[in-house]
Amino acid sequence: SQQGEEDPQALSIQEGENATMNCSYKTSINNLQWYRQNSGRGLVHLILIRSNEREKHSGRLRVTLDTSKKSSSLLITASRAADTASYFCATDGRGSTLGRLYFGRGTQLTVWP
């Protein structure tokens, strides 16, 4: 399967702490994306990192990509209760499946006030 797999499956922290989630995948990629899903809602795009990039920042988010290890990490700094959600990594398809996203099972993040 080309799916990314997030680790840990669940993460519980206090407000103000940093949260780190990891994603591993199996095949070569053009890019990797992270999405957030609040309970009962659709997914929201957070950040995209291309295969030739190693690190990317967006506000309190920092994403790293290591193509040699086929892994990525998402760091949320100074977390807030509003960051409570499921976080998914998504890898892109190639060739005949270009345009298709492959999602992992997600990491459920709970941030306690």
Partner 1 sequence: EAGVVQSPRYKIIEKKQPVAFWCNPISGHNTLYWYLQNLGQGPELLIRYENEEAVDDSQLPKDRFSAERLKGVDSTLKIQPAELGDSAVYLCASSPGGTGWETQYFGPGTRLLVL
- Determine if 3 is a binding residue for partner 1 (CB under 8 A): yes
The DSSP call for residue 30 is S
Per-residue x/- track, 31-70, partner 1 (CB under 8 A): x-x-x----xxxxxx--x----------------------
Beta carbons of 12 and 29 less than 8 angstroms apart:
no
Residue 71 or 104: the one with the smaller Cβ distance to partner 1 is 104
CA distances from 3 to 12, 62, 103 (A): 24, 21, 6
Site residues (CB under 8 A) for partner 1?
3, 31, 33, 35, 40-45, 48, 88, 90, 92, 96-97, 99-101, 103-106
